[in-house]
């Protein structure tokens, strides 16, 4: 019987991991299945561009995995039973079940509304393709002078506000920041950020907490009404409750608690990568939900899976951030270097050079997804022994 590897989710973490597993493991004794709800690879880092009205081409996952041996199952994951080693899914034909020997859980995250009244009903977000397209349609229907309020001063909020202001200069764009705009940046980068907001005409509402969202306005903690034909919620991310409901050990965030190799601390047949993994970085702190974390964790998870299945020594890959890329529209950006404690260094790169660097990162990620078996070894690694459902080879 072939060893069944099931990958849940085909975002940055899941798609890269499936490609790496297919590249390194022999199809003679492994079977890799990817489960994803939509048929395309969604470049989440570009969804604010999609929402702003730009044309973004999404790659079909069937094309991405063509010729790799990876099986694609278009379905929505509805549950995981780690005791029976099964995953329940729902597709156009109804409910179904998949059995696995090794599971890589990479379902990512979605927007976190933090129970703010009206946020789920009236606010838009850019955390998924469907929600970005819904926002795109709403923005296209706004007349000159329409008001857009972006809630949240993190990377997503900054990139969304600047993208909208540049793409739609006829709109009035504001950003509500719970603290100081760009407080974590170096002084020079912070000044660059503020100049960009001034150039684009974005109103910044600092130390402003939104406590309610209505169809045409938002209400602050102090009771002030902020006009908003469109409110875009970018004040954090949340993971799906499937992991917690399954009996896997999770953190307070609902993320799967993993060891240094991205293996579940409660169920050794399960690995997690991306936003759904509660992984500790090299600085001793939990990795933030981000595309960079998806890269770190999927590389570590796949390296561990391959090593354990083939009898090799499990390597450790770096879990250390070097900097943040922040797009400020299409022609401006900031690349902020950070130290080992993720504190901003004095050096940063800004302007067109930083924008070209960010564009290169996006293109590189897209190219990697489109070529999942690039550099495929002539001889793939075989498993230690014929896999049996009773256990994972080399798991001890």
Domain ranges (residues) in the chain: 3-109+239-322+364-370, 115-233
How far is Cα 396 from Cα 83, in angstroms, rounded to an integer?
18
CATH code given to domain 115-233: 3.50.50.60
pLDDT band at residue 395 using 50, 70 and 90 as cut-offs: very low
User: What average pLDDT score do residues 267-274 get?
Assistant: 97
How far is Cα 290 from Cα 271, in angstroms, rounded to an integer?
18
Query: Is the alpha carbon torsion for 90, 274, 22, 100 positive or negative?
Result: negative
pLDDT band at residue 326 using 50, 70 and 90 as cut-offs: very high
User: What average pLDDT score do residues 91-105 get?
Assistant: 96
Q: What percent of the chain has pLDDT over 90?
A: 83
pTM: 0.92
Q: What pLDDT, on the 0 to 100 scale, is given for residue 275?
A: 96
User: What average pLDDT score do residues 157-170 get?
Assistant: 97
Q: What pLDDT, on the 0 to 100 scale, is given for residue 387?
A: 45
DSSP 8-state assignment for residue 380: P
Pick one of 3.50.50.60, 3.40.30.10, 3.90.226.10, 3.40.50.1820 as the CATH number of 3-109+239-322+364-370: 3.50.50.60
Q: For residue range 26-49, list pLDDT tens digits in order.
A: 999 999 999 999 999 999 999 999
Residue 391 reports pLDDT greater than 50 = no
Q: What pLDDT, on the 0 to 100 scale, is given for residue 396?
A: 33
Task: Check if 3-109+239-322+364-370 and 115-233 are the same fold.
Answer: yes
Average pLDDT, the chain: 92
394 by Cβ neighbours in 10 Å (0-12 / 13-18 / 19+) ranks as middle
């Amino acid at each position: 019987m072939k060893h069944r590897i099931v990958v849940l989710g085909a975002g940055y973490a899941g798609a890269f991991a499936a490609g790496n597993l297919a590249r390194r493991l022999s199809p003679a004794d492994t079977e890799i299945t990817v489960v994803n709800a939509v048929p395309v690879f969604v470049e989440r880092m570009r969804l604010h561009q999609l929402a702003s009205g730009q044309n973004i081409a999404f790659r079909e996952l069937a094309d991405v995995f063509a010729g790799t041996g990876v099986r694609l199952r278009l379905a929505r994951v509805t549950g995981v039973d780690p005791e029976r080693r099964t995953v329940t899914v729902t597709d156009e034909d109804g409910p179904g079940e998949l059995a696995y020997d090794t599971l890589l859980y990479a379902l990512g995250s979605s927007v976190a509304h933090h129970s703010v009244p009206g946020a789920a009903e009236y606010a838009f977000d850019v955390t998924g393709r469907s929600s970005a397209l819904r926002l795109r349609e709403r923005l296209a229907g706004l007349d000159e002078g329409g008001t857009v309020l972006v809630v949240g001063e993190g990377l997503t909020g900054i990139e969304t506000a600047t993208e909208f202001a540049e793409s739609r200069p006829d709109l009035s764009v504001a950003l509500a920041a719970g603290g100081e705009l760009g407080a974590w940046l170096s002084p020079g980068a912070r000044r660059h950020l503020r100049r960009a907001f001034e150039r684009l005409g974005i109103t910044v509402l600092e130390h402003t907490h939104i406590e309610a969202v209505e169809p045409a306005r938002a209400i602050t903690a102090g009771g002030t009404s902020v006009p908003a034909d469109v409110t875009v919620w970018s004040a954090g991310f949340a993971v799906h409750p499937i992991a917690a409901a399954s009996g896997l050990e999770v953190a307070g965030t609902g993320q799967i608690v993993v060891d240094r190799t991205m293996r579940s601390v409660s169920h050794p047949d399960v690995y997690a990568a991306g936003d759904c993994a509660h992984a500790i970085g090299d600085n001793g702190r939990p990795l933030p939900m981000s595309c960079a974390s998806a890269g770190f964790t999927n590389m570590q998870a796949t390296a561990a899976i391959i090593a354990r299945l083939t009898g090799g020594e499990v390597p450790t890959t770096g879990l250390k951030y070097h900097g943040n890329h922040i797009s400020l529209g299409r022609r401006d950006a900031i690349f902020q270097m950070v130290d080992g404690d993720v504190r901003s260094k004095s050096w940063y790169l800004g302007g067109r050079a930083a924008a070209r660097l960010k564009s290169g990162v996006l293109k590189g990620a897209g190219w990697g997804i489109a070529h999942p078996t690039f550099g495929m070894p002539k001889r793939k690694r075989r498993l230690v022994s014929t896999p049996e459902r009773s256990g994972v080879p080399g798991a001890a």
